[in-house]
Structure 1
């Protein structure tokens, strides 16, 4: 088994383990700034939005 580090940046770790002919990539981290791009935007508080019923998905 061998472990390779692909990143020189400690904030963005990325490793590859090779074991019995398999290559597995582990722990490919994202920076906090990158994660923020995938978070939902906060709502602007208004009566129009607060009076709507909550969404409940059906269990079909």
Structure 2
């Protein structure tokens, strides 16, 4: 499991910024300890990866 990234470091890495395929998500699936399913799917409209934290969110 990856460590949770502090908000200060997220702003330094410019997470949560950008548009379309260049968008960097502010919250990623690797920040959560989960027994369930986490997936990153490709969005058909923008072409970027979307981080889903459950199967319901994925569908």
> Which bracket does the TM-score occupy, shorter chain normalised?
under 0.3
Larger radius of gyration: 1
Which protein is richer in strand relative to its size? Answer: 1
- The answer to which structure, 1 or 2, has the higher relative contact order (CA under 8 A, 6+ apart) is 2
Q: Normalising by structure 2, what TM-score?
A: 0.21
Q: Normalising by structure 1, what TM-score?
A: 0.21
